[in-house]
Amino acid sequence: MPLKAPDAREAPPEAEPKREDGRRETDEGLQSPVSGSQPTAVADPETSKNLAELFDQTNRLFFSGLHTARRRSLIGKEPTPGQSAELRESDRPSVGATGAMPDLVTPAGARATDREALPKAEPDGRRGTKDGLRSPVSGPQSPVSSPQSPVLSPQSPVSGPQPPVSSPQSPVSDFPSPPDARDDALSDLKTRVQDELLKRVNKQKLSFEGLSDGEFRDRVSEILTMILAEPSTLIPPGWTPHSLLTELLNDFLGLGPLEKFLCDDTISEIMVNRFDQIYVERQGRLELTTGRFLNENQIRAVIQRIIQPLGRHVDENVPYVDARLVDGSRVHVIIPPLAMNGPKVTIRKFFKNKLTTDDLLRFGSLSRQMAEFLQMMVKYRANILISGGSGSGKTTLLNVLSNFIPDNQRIITIEDAAELHISKQHVISLEARAASVEGTGAVSIRELVRNSLRMRPDRVVIGECRGGEALDMLQAMNTGHDGSMTTIHANSPRDALARLETLVLMAGVDLPSRAIREQIGSAINIVVQTARQPDGSRKINKITEVSGLGENAVFMTQEIFVFKQQGVDAAGRILGRYEPTGTIPRIVEHLRARGMKVAMEVFAAA
């Protein structure tokens, strides 16, 4: 018999009785979505306070206690008595809504979907389909189930009442199930597990006081393990209890699906293009992963969790932000309306193990002669400019070169987002600050450079020159602060000098071009050019000396070392060798004239 579409004029089926808080009632009282029927109880007004305390603990675990008071103030609105702990429909943020980002990484906040394909919710809170059948776990379902489809037990307190299952001989429905049915099942299960977790934590909240971060995580893991081990908890297809436990811990205490990539030491960069598309960079090559968020709201919750302890914000008025993780990894975020198809997150990981010169030699990023020359230049206080494109290893090389600075010198680092980790005892780190929500309180790198000169520095290390601070840096190099270092985005040594001149003009000072070039020619001694090769490897392409300004105000430069490519092997790896040009840098001649010993064999051509 052919299926008949429901008549819109027909009266809808009578909804099941509900409580004021939206939960279904049973004969025994309030039904627990995880543990079965429970005695009837009305939510305690203290629920909001307990919820704030729990997630203050989780944020303290992840952020090591930074800005605790601010995070507590951003927990959100307190639910009224009898209201569910999950987000109300009116509180759920829409894509690109101003200030509508969830404050916490919770499955309740992540449940809110923004898929146009999902049918409208019915009065009983479940989604309906054209044939009127619906599943409270998997969303709209076909009235006919295939023999291979997993069927939840109708008696299960987790899945709730289920529609009858048709025999294999039943006709196939014209209304197939949506492709996100498993995601809905996982989202619903996460929400129910969270509700049960909060109940148990509230009952034992006194036992959580005074716990360390590790002990708190262990206690939460024990409670989640017990919830997942209950017979009433149905594990979604494709998941094991262990994998689901890890997923829940990442959602409650970490950055959701990004956690596994952050823990993978072979991954150097993480790129979230959409909620269902995450790329990583491994050994210089991009890979599409199987990781995904439930929806865009979960991405926004993760973004909020990253930037909230740093006192930064992102909304439609300021739809982009730079931040960093606790381990120093750099994070860039851009959201709608500037970003199409949802928020974009890019994380450049900071390696746990600090790289050394031996590591760069093992990677083939430079030769032994080049390493000895750079060490000599840093030791004898040459001003070094590291140039290269994005992701070419400039900051990594700056970290390595900083380790050559003698221990008895005072080093001041200045960065937009702190990435440098110099293994010296006397290091002062300064970080620029973005404007507040009111548009006040911004502190630029240029202001930090000016302040650093009053702090008696021996060396000034600027993470990157990208604006008017270039003028103050050049003046510092020319007024007794030799041995300073910085990085700049450019494709060649000459391009780096030309761009440095442009950045000086951005300072707003009306200086003639020749005066600026003379400042650059006398301040910069060495330009180190880095590049990312087609095979993903990072190499130092050139080391160039700047020896002043010649005729017609042209920079006088000479190459000291170059990398010469000789081909590509069967695996696509770049083949080549580093060669000294045989040119003796003028700065070396000055050092020898001052009685300093210099190993001249470093410059011998092969």
**pLDDT, tens digit, 9 for 90 and up, residues 216-259:** 888 888 888 888 888 777 777 778 777 788 888 888 878 889 99
The band of 488, judged by pLDDT with boundaries at 50, 70 and 90, is very high
In the chain, where the domains are located: 25-240, 357-603
The band of 176, judged by pLDDT with boundaries at 50, 70 and 90, is very low
User: Is the full-model pTM beyond 0.95?
Assistant: no
- Residue 50 has what pLDDT? 53
At 443, is the secondary structure helix, strand, or coil? strand
Structure tokens at 574: 């770049």
CB half-sphere exposure, 567, CA atoms < 13 A: 3
- Give the closest residue to 25 by CA, choosing from 2, 41, 13: 41
Q: Which residues contact 217 (CB under 8 A, 6 or more apart)?
A: 61, 249, 253
- Residue 495 has what pLDDT? 95
Three-state helix/strand/coil letters over 198-265? HHHHHHCHHHHCCCCHHHHHHHHHHHHHHHHHCCCCCCCCCCCHHHHHHHHHHHHHCCHHHHHHHCCC
**pLDDT, tens digit, 9 for 90 and up, residues 255-309:** 889 999 998 988 989 999 999 999 999 988 899 998 889 889 889 989 998 988 8
C-alpha dihedral, 253 to 258 to 262 to 266, nearest 10°:
150
**pLDDT, tens digit, 9 for 90 and up, residues 8-28:** 445 555 555 555 555 554 444
336 pLDDT more than 90: yes
491 pLDDT more than 80: yes
Q: How wide is the angle at C-alpha 318 spanned by C-alphas 313 and 320, nearest 5°?
A: 80
Alpha-helical segments (H) within 90-231: 107-111, 181-203, 213-229
**pLDDT, tens digit, 9 for 90 and up, residues 188-206:** 777 788 778 888 877 777 7
- Residue 539 has what pLDDT? 94
Q: What's the rounded Cα separation, in Å, for the pair 299 and 425?
A: 39
Average pLDDT over residues 586-601: 83
The answer to whether 448 and 414 are in contact (CB under 8 A) is: yes
Query: Position of tokens 């009983």?
Result: 124
**pLDDT, tens digit, 9 for 90 and up, residues 282-292:** 988 899 998 88
CB half-sphere exposure, 579, CA atoms < 13 A: 10
Q: What's the rounded Cα separation, in Å, for the pair 392 and 531?
A: 5
Chain CA centroid to CA 606, Å: 45
Name the phi and psi angles at 357, rounded to 5: -60, -40
When mean pLDDT is compared across 26-30, 352-356, 467-471, 473-477, the lowest value belongs to 26-30
**pLDDT, tens digit, 9 for 90 and up, residues 406-423:** 999 999 999 887 788 888
Neighbours of 352 (CB within 10 A): 9
The answer to whether 529 and 540 are in contact (CB under 8 A) is: yes
What is the per-residue DSSP string for 478-531? TTT-TT-EEEEE-SSHHHHHHHHHHHHHTTT----HHHHHHHHHHH--EEEEEE
When the pLDDT of each residue in the chain is averaged and rounded to a whole number, the result is 74
The band of 504, judged by pLDDT with boundaries at 50, 70 and 90, is very high
The class level of CATH for 357-603 reads alpha beta
Average pLDDT over residues 137-160: 40
